[in-house]
Chains A and B, each alone.
Chain A
Amino acid sequence: MHAALSDVVFDLFQNSIEAGAMNIGVSFWETADEIHFSVTDDGRGMDFEGLKRAEDPFGSDGTKHPGRRVGLGIPFLRQTAEQTGGRVEIDSVPGKGTRIEAVFPAAHLDLPPEGNLVLLWLQCLTFGGDYQLKIHRMCRESDGRVEEYRIDKAEISEALGGLEDTNTVGLLREFLESMEEPFNK
């Protein structure tokens, strides 16, 4: 199992990249009793057999490492859901894309911590490649108050003139920290 939920999300994001996705959406929402995240992409998608392989820890599509017989990304997600009483939904259409959604009970003792979301977004935004990415982060308190932000890779990249060099990535981190700050109160 991954040590933090942010690691699970990044693993799914990485799958989208490896599926050749050009448009990726990532959401991470919290309410008083649930944590919800989703990763949606327009990558190559999977048919029923492909989905079965993705769910099997001893299965891999074998394109990257011929001869390798292990693939743990989705099984880690499944494991996290099973041990916390959460749920996972995967919709995938070959040639169209994949949507993975997971919901976990926030108070469950075995739920991994959220992890560092600033670093997660930084990793997703600067992975390298022409893909577009839209991020939605939201928190709804029990009194109904909502804190949220949206990040669009195209807008950020335009404002910073690229997302490559360490200076822009440093500024991007400051930007993301300012976005995430209200959530830590």
Chain B
Amino acid sequence: MTLPTRIKRFSVLDRLSHVFLILTFLLQTATGFSRLYVTTVWGKKVNTLFGGYDTSLVIHEWTGMVMMVGFVLHSIYLLTRVDWRAPVKSIFGPDSLVPNLTDARQFGQRLRWFFGLGPLPGFNRWSYWEKFDYWAVYWGLPLLAVTGVMLMYPLSTSRFLPGWSLNIAALLHRAEAILAVTYIFIVHFFIGHLRPSSFPMNEAMFSGSVPMEEAIEEKPAWVQRLKEEGKLESARSAAPSLWYRRLYFMFGYAALIFGVYMLINGIMHARQISLH
């Protein structure tokens, strides 16, 4: 029996979640930045695109609501993925995104590999930076959601909290948004597009599958485990069709260009915001 040439890495639901996150995140970036930078010439232009200072806020709020619903649904989905007969083993196991001691060890190996002092660590299904990517979003979303809802309903908020908590909420919302935007548009895009083994684009999150040789090279422990568990055959996957590849290449590059455009303009105009 021959080995499959491609194996499945992401389910349809995973990929749909990712596309959902891309669309909502970029829309939030655009409307949020357009308001943050409204005192600059560039910000005013973007803001006009979204119907001005007030209308862009309405779009921002509704998109935020949609994201919150997505976050809750995703959390429910996470709970269904835990094997409740052996929860500890399942949560800290190799299929889980929860960080464990192996990640710390592999990070040390990785540091030695950077300087040619050792071999590349044999990553399992998720490497430590992929886990960080995931949890960065997972903690950032609720923080933005809570502070965002506080700012949406300031009068109700001030019934439960002192009014000055709105100052804090505005600061946290802005700071976390800037953190998320810089991380995604610098680090995540570099890993996904620019690093040599991904260039011009890491397709796994869109096609849902990876070529076998790439999987063996990047995630040897994962392939080994699939082999041992006899799941390799069921993970066999067909190559994405040409039209679909064209589609996600265009989509991915549109997102990339948009993000870099936002980031560069954001940095260029940062000194003209004229708020504290």
Q: Say if A and B assemble together.
A: no
Q: Which A residues form the contact surface with B (CB < 8 A)?
A: none
List chain B positions with a Cβ less than 8 A from chain A: none
